[in-house]
Amino acid sequence: MTGPALPSWPFLIPRRAVALTAAAVVGLALAASGWAQEPDAVKARAQLKAGGYGPALAAADEALKEPFSQTEEWFLIRLEALMAQGMYPQALQTAEQALAHDGRSLQLQWAAREVFLANGDTARAEEAVSDIERLMSFRRAGYRDVQSIVVHGKVMILRGADPKTVLTKIFDAARKLVPDAREPQLAAGELALEKNDFALAAKTFQAGLKTFPDDPDFLCGLARAFAPSDRKAMQANLEAALKVNPSHVPSLLRLADHWIDAEKYTEAAELLDRVAKVNPHRPEMWSYRAVLAHLKNDPAGESAARAEALKFYASNPLPDHLIGRKLSQKYRFAEGVAHQRKALEFSPDYGPAEAQLASDLLRLGEEDEGWKLAAKVQADDAYNVASFNLMTLHDAMKTDFATLRNDHFVVRMAAKEAPVYGSRVLELLGEARTKLGTKYGIDIVSPTIVEIFPTEKDFGVRTFGMPDNPGYLGVCFGRVVTATSPSARPGAAVNWEAVLWHEFCHVVTLQSTRNRMPRWLSEGISVYEERQADPSWGEHMNEEYREMILSGKLTPVSALSGAFLAPPSALHLQFAYYESSLVVEFIINQYGPGALKSVLQDLGEGQEINAVLAKRVAPMETLERDFAIHAKELAQNLAPALDWQQPEPTLLLPESEEALRTWMRERPVNLWVLQRQAEELMEAGAWSEAKAPLQKLIDLYPGQTGPGSARVLLAQVHRKLNETPEETTVLTHIAAKEAAAPDVTQRLMDLASASGDWPTVTRQARRFLAVNPLIATGWKYLAQAADKTGDDATAITALRTLLALEPPNTAEIHYRLAAVLHRTGNGEARRQVLMALEDTPRHRAALKLLQEIPRTLPSPTVAPAPEADPSVPDPAAVPPTPPAPAPAAPGSP
């Protein structure tokens, strides 16, 4: 989504903020940088850049001893060196001296403001801002240097000016005046980051690095811009920044933040110790330490760290905002909300805390307050990309979404899709609630809110705040679940029923632990429970996973959560889900399901995961060792008689054809060889001969799945040879093993319909609809099978759904629906047959049926309907879907 349209310049800046208009900026004469050109000052600046804060401070002290050296530049160097080392009281003294020496310098006034805030003196910080405004009002022509222009732009932001206009008409204008100036580009990038415009931030910092290639501030800024989308790029830029300046505190803090996300708390703590050696009073450093203490269930340590963060600035909203944001990222939204409220007590209009609080409330299901606050954030800051996207989506959902409700769920989905499969969503969620709630022994809080989005962009906005979606199908926050609908991924085969089951399992485990569980355990249980619900769901051992395990790419359990954060590829991410589920399965099989439930209970009490595992399962070292042995055995037992060796790349060259043939002859049970033989025979049209290598491969590797598996190829061979019974047998096996194989299920429906095997048609139709209920094929076959077997309720539901999909042959569907309704004595039959005749007046069967239907039929007695909820679709438009069959046992259709 793009940002909102902006009004013209004169209406954006409050009068009290206007000291430098756009016209004034454009009219500024080209000004040289305000930095001093003395060799010693240039050297001190280089020392600051490299992290030599002590030497730079010493140089400034020496220079400021002499009256003629008491310049703006040396005061700025001394202030930067003192602030970087957390020497806030000394910085306060220097700021007072600097302002007494030159109170007309905008740069000194702005630097003094930062010093006053660090010391908790908000009144004097506000006075510094007012002084900048006053100076610009009376001496505008005297501040034509780039640095002063940038300072004034920052003041305009504080005073409520439109950020996007300041960005384009102040910072960009200043950059054009002096293209190689550092301050405008740095300020523009920081502003874009603050407003969540990460694409613009990345572009700005990349442009700045062309002029300042080894500037740690630009490198760190670029890393922050990449953080939401590309953790590899983020880490690379942080490492580059720390190579230039090993003491660059913003980079150290950003890297610590990353390790906290990855649950590598020891590494994060080590980085915070490095920060403390540079600046022992940095509020963010103490805030992160408070987060680590909270995650270790150390309330005393958390309280002490928070107090240190507020030591010099007792009403600083940043520490509580940061603590709350990190706890919310750990899905501890209730604790996050509490900290954001504390931040807003200190500063009622602190935008970052308002935005985070709105997001947290929405994820807790506190929608009334959450949406109101989100609207306020957007109204107060029209340039904040995340809040603009969120409110745009909110407005669209009001008109384009339908709401379905029962005692336990509120489901929101596209109004066009709700009549098609909305009732099945409620039914499936109800099944999951009953089975999983009972299994894990918890009383699930109602209602659970489930929002299903027809586009990945809208799913990304609702889930992550931005339209980008890094490959997720669904996300659970505890009481709130977001998911993509089948229409969000056209052409992709995904079993949406398995996705919803997976996400609702998160509802159960997150509520069981009060959202206090590592990611690997949460994901592992959900994937494990997928397999328990239906053997074709979830992740299973395959060739790729076998190779990863046997090649030493198994992630240690203690580091498994980090495998989800920055995986090298999509395959590595899927393997993280699979490995996590294997760990859960291993714990249950070795220590019993009671051990897992005890682990969840202890986590809910705030105990640390390693301590809990040591008490309920085994010490982490033992668990990792035993699990690694188990995983290796599983990998080795995948088709153990099969030769898994791949030919060397040189053998695949055209000139190596004879050598390749020799290599193949020597390996009669090789996976690659058997597949190659079968494919070559099929390409040559030798269909009967292709059976032998395919059947041999199936015998050696019966669990192989995927579009290129031996069974898929064998089904193609049987079809070419018109061996329908054999083809049906093979396809039935594939359908039972693969949750998302719509081509297979459609072919089975075709074959079963032709042979009159209506139970099979019904079963495969339901499998087809579990992948994509928005295609008429599944409903057509389901209606046909139900009609043939006398299942009138299912036939009525399927035919109504077909009409909701607006197919081209509506007359025939109206007629068929009328016939079933007439058979059940439903008075609506006459209306349906008339609708058929309206489309096709000469429909003979419909004319005959009309003659059989009396003009009036008694309507069934129904209880009075409750007062309508305008957000709930008409029940007639959202027919109930008959229950799906029980999951098939392994190997059955």
**Greater pLDDT, 576 or 9:** 576
The 10s digit of each residue's pLDDT in 68-95 is 888 999 999 999 999 999 999 999 999 9
Residue 883: what residue type? P
pLDDT of residue 467: 81
d(CA 877, CA 843): 26
Model confidence at 886, pLDDT cuts 50, 70, 90, reads very low
The 10s digit of each residue's pLDDT in 622-636 is 999 999 999 999 999
CB 482 within 8 A of CB 513: no
Q: Kindly tell me if the per-residue pLDDT of 170 is higher than 60.
A: yes
pLDDT of residue 808: 85
Q: Kindly tell me if the per-residue pLDDT of 127 is higher than 50.
A: yes
pLDDT of residue 470: 66
CB 91 within 8 A of CB 279: no
d(CA 506, CA 661): 51
d(CA 786, CA 797): 10
Question: What is the rounded average pLDDT of the residues 101-107?
Answer: 93
d(CA 29, CA 218): 27
Instruction: Report which of 448, 421, 422 is spatially closest to residue 433, judged by C-alpha positions.
Output: 448
The 10s digit of each residue's pLDDT in 404-419 is 999 999 999 999 999 9
Model confidence at 373, pLDDT cuts 50, 70, 90, reads very high
d(CA 690, CA 688): 5
Residue that has been written with the tokens 């994060």 in this structure: 268
Helices vs. strands in the chain: H and E counts, helices first: 44, 5
Question: What is the rounded average pLDDT of the residues 174-203?
Answer: 92
pLDDT of residue 469: 66
Q: Are strands 448-453 and 480-484 parallel, antiparallel or unpaired?
A: parallel
Q: Kindly tell me if the per-residue pLDDT of 45 is higher than 60.
A: yes
DSSP assignment of 315-366, as one string?
Answer: T-HHHHHHHHHHHHHTT-HHHHHHHHHHHHHH-TT-HHHHHHHHHHHHHTT-
Burial (Cβ within 10 Å: 0-12, 13-18, ≥19) of residue 141: exposed
pLDDT of residue 434: 96
Calculate the CA 626 to chain-centre distance: 32
Residue 309: what residue type? A
Task: For residue 167, give the DSSP letter.
Answer: I
d(CA 376, CA 612): 42
CB 382 within 8 A of CB 375: no
Peptide bond connecting 759 to the previous residue in cis, omega within 30 degrees of 0: no
d(CA 777, CA 5): 44
φ, ψ of residue 34 to 5 degrees: the values are -80, -5
CB 172 within 8 A of CB 22: no
pLDDT of residue 37: 52
d(CA 678, CA 684): 10
Task: For residue 335, give the DSSP letter.
Answer: H
Q: Which two tokens stand for residue 445?
A: 């809080």
d(CA 872, CA 404): 5
Q: Which two tokens stand for residue 268?
A: 């994060």
DSSP assignment of 43-75, as one string?
Answer: HHHHHHHHT-HHHHHHHHHHHHTSGGG--HHHH
CB 384 within 8 A of CB 377: yes
d(CA 284, CA 287): 5
Q: Which two tokens stand for residue 565?
A: 């954060």
Strand locations in 313-461, DSSP E? 401-405, 409-414, 448-453
pLDDT of residue 173: 87
Question: What is the rounded average pLDDT of the residues 600-611?
Answer: 93
The 10s digit of each residue's pLDDT in 294-335 is 999 999 999 999 999 999 999 999 999 999 999 999 999 999
d(CA 186, CA 205): 7
Query: How far is CA 758 from each of CA 302, 733, 771, 875, rounded to the nearest angstrom?
Result: 64, 18, 20, 29
Instruction: Report which of 366, 386, 368 is spatially closest to residue 377, judged by C-alpha positions.
Output: 386
Could you tell me the pTM of the whole model? 0.85
Model confidence at 705, pLDDT cuts 50, 70, 90, reads very high
d(CA 665, CA 854): 77
Task: For residue 12, give the DSSP letter.
Answer: T
Task: For residue 643, give the DSSP letter.
Answer: B
**How far from each other are the two terminal CA atoms of the chain, in whole angstroms?**
44
d(CA 374, CA 353): 11
Q: Kindly tell me if the per-residue pLDDT of 880 is higher than 80.
A: no
CB 132 within 8 A of CB 152: yes
Q: Which two tokens stand for residue 261?
A: 């996300």
pLDDT of residue 868: 39
Side by side, the strands of the sheet bearing 480-484 are 401-405, 409-414, 448-453, 480-484, 474-476
Calculate the CA 676 to chain-centre distance: 40
Looking at the DSSP bridge assignments, the partners of residue 411 are 404, 450
Residue that has been written with the tokens 């790729």 in this structure: 544
Instruction: Report which of 271, 312, 313 is spatially closest to residue 292, judged by C-alpha positions.
Output: 271
Looking at the DSSP bridge assignments, the partners of residue 482 are 451, 475
Question: What is the rounded average pLDDT of the residues 705-718?
Answer: 95
CB 527 within 8 A of CB 577: yes
How many Cα neighbours within 13 Å face the side chain of 437? 15
Q: Are strands 480-484 and 409-414 parallel, antiparallel or unpaired?
A: unpaired
- Min mean pLDDT across 4-8, 282-286, 435-439, 769-773 is at 4-8
d(CA 344, CA 565): 31
The 10s digit of each residue's pLDDT in 817-847 is 999 999 999 999 999 999 999 999 999 999 9
Burial (Cβ within 10 Å: 0-12, 13-18, ≥19) of residue 890: exposed
CB 713 within 8 A of CB 697: no
d(CA 397, CA 603): 36
- Min mean pLDDT across 34-43, 172-181, 666-675 is at 34-43
Q: Which two tokens stand for residue 763?
A: 């079963």
CB 390 within 8 A of CB 374: yes
Contacts 24+ apart (CB under 8 A), 664-667: 667/643
pLDDT of residue 865: 37
Q: Which two tokens stand for residue 23?
A: 């016209």
Per this entry, what is the length of the chain?
A: 893
